Structure 1
Amino acid sequence: MASTVTPEQVSVGVLVTAVPRDALSAAAVACGVVDRRAGGKLPVHVTAYLTMAMCLFPDDDYTEVATKVTGSLDRFGCWDAAWSPPTAGGITQARKRLGRRVLAEVFEGVAQPVAAAGSRGSWLRGRRLLAIDGFDVDLPDTPENATEFGYAGSKDTRSAFPKARVVTLSECGTHAFLAAEVAPWNTAEKTLANRLYQRLCPDELLTADRLFYSFTVAVQLG
């Protein structure tokens, strides 16, 4: 009888394929993050996968996400079936140990163009088409996030959650992110965009709306 594949397994399978364990290990080493003890059921790579999976299943609590993810990670050789699913408290402590730099390092390691030569909408006269755009992300309403990122609006119009400002370089056609800058909400999108222009390659053609386009930027890009 054919085995049943659940949506959770497909989601985590795509995640593990896009972000291989070796990339997580390399990022952890680069950031100086090591497992607290050998044989622990929340090593760095598992904690990183759990953290990313929380974005795949935003409506589930820690324990529900852990149950879905660890079962799927076992099929990909990233989890020991003898371990029991971690508790919410254990995940919280493990995420604190992981810190914020590891996943940023992972992103830098895996974010890359994915369009093939014949990919529709990704090329113009031999140049890879990119787009630049900005958006806001709601963050957990904690004192730490409020201090670092701030809220949108003020007083009666203040947002319910702290917000991060994100500006990305994306590949047209595939919508794959190639680079990103994240900052507090009150940081202007143009400020973050200026940091991304330095990462463009000669064979890439950047499209942008009038918010980003200016004579100053044209001079900067040469």
Structure 2
Amino acid sequence: MPFQQSLLDLGELFNFSDLSTFTHNIPIEWVESALTLSDKATIRRRRLPSDQVLWLVLGMAIFRDEPVHEVARRLNICAQGLASDSLLAKSGVTEARKRLGSQPIEWLFCQTGHQWGRERYTGDEWQGLQVFAVDGALFRTPDTPELREHFGSGNTSTKRQTPFPMMRLVALMNVRSHIVVDAQISPYRRSEMRLADAFLHQIPDNSVTLFDKGFWGANLLLNVSRQGKNRHWLIPERKNLVREELQRYGKNDRLVKMKVSPQARKKNPELPEYWEVREVSYKVKDGMKTVFTSLPVETYSAKAIAGLYQERWEIELGFRDIKSSMQHNAITLRSKKVELIYQEVWGLLLTYNVIRREASLAAIAFDRRPSEIRFKSVCQYIAVQLIVMAAANPVSGTGRRLSELRSGIGGLFLERRPRRTTPRTVKISKTRYPVDRKAAPLK
């Protein structure tokens, strides 16, 4: 792509290796703390020290179409005073990534999410509550025996495995700023609900969390409310739920009682035998839709709740930004070792948060909402231009340069359009039979 190539060519003019570039968003203390987690710390003066490799991992997320060793060369990822450029071997880059490991990247991502995901911006609340969403996504990995054994894959009805191993991601996202607050990644066979349990405590007080129906469960939902103050949830109805009406608030608004399953109570004996939830129904194009919530009827109307649940789609847009805008719809991740796969995905999430944070600050400067920024257009612009500006003058003038950067994205805001009314198309399903690519064409 000519635009991406022009961004990469900036590496010929500027030294991108100075990590002070990110001190506006990522304090240097965070970087130092993260690097202490590396399993293979060393005092040897290497051509690719850990701090530069950390920056390389971020560069991999920005420049997905470039080979890793080319990203290292372009960004001049090399210790000062040591030879680089064409002398940097491909194997040396891989070994440097192995020495760094995935823990420092994961720790840095968690720091950014926990700090930035709770930030409040003017007009980003819903009736005094911050809005979050929880959902899952899948990533494919290259098909090697090691990766297939570790990550696993889905099976067809004939027990044939899917073409690529898959890893599972479950994330908690601030739907107004689109920053990922926390996430869990694991092999394919792990349950989304169990992964979500690991970060429920990160949901701030005075908030409402939107769930996909796959997260339905008394234990998970009750924990959302019990683990904090004024924390609420909203989730769509599951089929074949048996409930008893206790109180009618309106035509499509009522309080119902449901039995907690024996399996759930066995896992958590503290769960009650029955639990009460509010049921709200509203009209959609093809009928009625029902959601359940802990939001009290005295404060939040059924109409407001129906409108709020539409925002759950925002986390899907966040996943799209990562897979499409950052990964360029690549079929698989690029790494071929288990530890490097985890490192690559944590690097994706960390880089995504850095871009989203800067986009949010730019939106606020224009008195707009962070979710109105065009991520696809801003992704390369912010990530690379911010680096260039800081590298060109890392000591002084940063505030002025950031102001110029944000003024440059003033035309990159989304114009909100109504949701599409045409039905979603169904992709061609995978065949269970081998495809004969040499077969003669149909006449």
- Scaled by the length of structure 2, what TM-score is found? 0.42
Q: Which runs of 5+ in 2 are unaligned?
A: 1-5, 227-443
Assess, with a 3 A threshold, how the Cα gap between structure 1 residues 116 and 198 changes in structure 2: closer, same or farther: closer
Which letter maps to 1:118? T
Deviation at 1:59, TM superposition (A): 2.1
1:164 and 1:183 in contact (8 A); partners too:
yes
In structure 2, what is the equivalent of residue 128 of structure 1?
A: 130
Letter in 1 for 2:65: D
* Corresponding residue number in structure 2 for 1:90: 92
Does residue 146 of structure 1 match 2:148? yes
Opposite residue 148 of structure 1, the aligned amino acid is: H
1:80-119 correspondence runs (5 A): 80=80, 83-85=83-85, 86-111=88-113, 112-113=115-116, 115-119=119-123
Please list the CA deviations of residues 182-210 of structure 1 after superposition, one character each: whole Å capped at 9, or x if unmatched.
11111121121122212222133211122
* Residue-pair matches, total: 207
| Alignment partner, residue 29 of structure 1 | 36
1:116 CA drift (Å) = 4.1
Q: Which amino acid aligns with 2:80?
A: D
Distance 1:172 1:87, change over 3 A: same
| CA distance in 1 between partners of 2:121 and 2:67 (Å) | 41
Answer yes or no: is the 8 Å Cα contact 2:152–2:166 preserved in 1: yes
- Aligned partner of 2:213 in structure 1 is 210
Q: Is the 8 A contact 1:23 1:110 kept in 2?
A: no
CA distance, structure 1, for counterparts of residue 43 and residue 145 of structure 2: 27
1:16-59 per-position Cα deviation (integer Å, ceiling 9, x unaligned): 53445543321111345424512x22010111221232222222
Alignment of structure 1 residues 46-195 onto 2, 5 Å? 46-70=52-76, 80=80, 83-85=83-85, 86-111=88-113, 112-113=115-116, 115-119=119-123, 122-153=124-155, 158-195=161-198
Q: Structure 1 residues 80, 140: closer, same or farther in 2, change over 3 A?
A: farther
2:101 counterpart letter in structure 1: G
Distance in structure 2 (CA, Å) of the matches to 1:206 and 1:99? 32
The answer to which of 195-204 and 85-94 deviates more is 195-204
Unaligned stretches of 5+ in structure 1?
Answer: 1-5
SS class of match (1:198)? helix
Q: TM-score, normalised by structure 1?
A: 0.78
Contact 2:39 2:100 in 1 (8 A): no
Kept in 1: contact 2:39–2:101 (CA 8 A): no
- CA change 1:29–1:213 in 2 (3 A) is same
CA RMSD between the two structures: 3.0
Which of 217, 220, 223 aligns to 1:220? It is: 223
The 1:198/1:31 distance shift into structure 2, 3 A limit, reads same
Tell me the distance in 2 between the aligned counterparts of 1:156 and 1:48.
40
The 1:33–1:107 alpha-carbon spacing in structure 2 relative to 1, beyond 3 Å, is farther
Cα distance in structure 2, aligned partners of 1:94 and 1:36: 14
**Do the aligned partners of 1:149 and 1:163 also contact (CA within 8 Å) in 2?**
yes
| Partner SS state of residue 44, structure 2 | coil
Question: What is the percent sequence identity of the aligned residues?
Answer: 24
**After the TM superposition, which of the residue ranges 154-163 and 43-52 deviates more from structure 2?**
154-163
Distance 1:69 1:151, change over 3 A: farther
